[in-house]
Amino acid sequence: MVDQQERVAADPAYRVFVSYIDKSRQFYSAQGYERPYSWARNDEAPFTPLRKPIAESRLGLVTTALNLDLPNDTDAETLPIASTYAAPIDPPPARLFTQNRSWDKEATHTDDLDSFFPVHRLQELVEDGRLGSLSPRFYGIPTEYSQRRTNEVDAPRLLELMREDGVDVAMLVAL
C-alpha cells in the first residue's frame, strides 16, 4: 500500500499535487464517518481590481491559527470556543496556536511564525517601500465545518473588522 502510494506520487499518469479532498475522504471514512465532507464548489469567483498600487495600500493579514500563546501539547478540549477575532499586529504575537488545525505534523512544524503568518516579512516589505502599510490589527477566522457559518457569520465579521481598520487588500494564509 505504501509502495503503491509512493509509486503514484512519482507516476506522471497521476496529478503531481496532492488531492486533500481525496485524502480526507479516505481518512475520515477510516475513522468511521459515514458521510464524506462536501467541500464548497464554485464555477465562478468574484473579482475586485486594485484601486491603488500595492506600494500605497494597507494590507490585512488573515490566519486560521488561534491568538493564544500555549504549549503545543495543550489539550484541545481546554481551548476556548472558536470565533473570528482581530488583535494588534505591532508588536507581532510571539506565537500563534496551530495544533488543533489540520496540517502535516509529521513532515514539518509551525514553530517559525513566518512560515504560515509572514508578519515580519511583510514588515520588511513595508520598510522597503514595496507595500504601503500593514493594518494595525491582524485577523483570525475559525476553520468551520459549517459553510453556512463561514458565509453568514465569520466572513461578514471579518469584513466588518477590516472596514474598521481601513484595509485595502487582504492576504489570507491557509495552514
Partner 1 sequence: MSLAARHLEENGIPTVVCGSARDIVEQVAAPRFLFTDFPLGNPTGKPYDAEMQRAITSMGLDLLETARFPRTTVQTPFSWGDDAWRAGYMRVDDSNREVLRRAGEIRRRQQARRKTEGRVRPE
Residues 98 to 117 in contact with partner 1, rule: CB under 8 A: 98, 102-112, 114-117
What is the distance between the alpha carbons of residues 67 and 46, in angstroms, rounded to a whole number? 29
CB 154 to partner 1: min, Å: 7
Residue bearing cell 491557509: 174
CB 18 to partner 1: min, Å: 5
Q: Does 87 bind partner 1 (CB under 8 A)?
A: no
Q: Which three cell numbers stand for residue 89?
A: 499586529
Q: How many residues bind partner 1 (CB under 8 A)?
A: 91
Residue list 39-58, contact with partner 1 (CB under 8 A): 39-50, 53-54
What is the distance between the alpha carbons of residues 65 and 48, in angstroms, rounded to a whole number? 26
Residue list 119-148, contact with partner 1 (CB under 8 A): 120-122, 124-125, 130-131, 141-143, 147
Q: Does 21 bind partner 1 (CB under 8 A)?
A: yes
* Part in contact with partner 1 (CB under 8 A); list of ranges 66-74, 87-95, 150-158: 150-158
Nearer to partner 1, 8 or 87 (CB): 8
CB 35 to partner 1: min, Å: 13
Nearer to partner 1, 62 or 89 (CB): 62
- Residue 117's contacts (CB-CB under 8 Å, 6 or more residues apart) are 61, 63, 65, 96, 138, 173
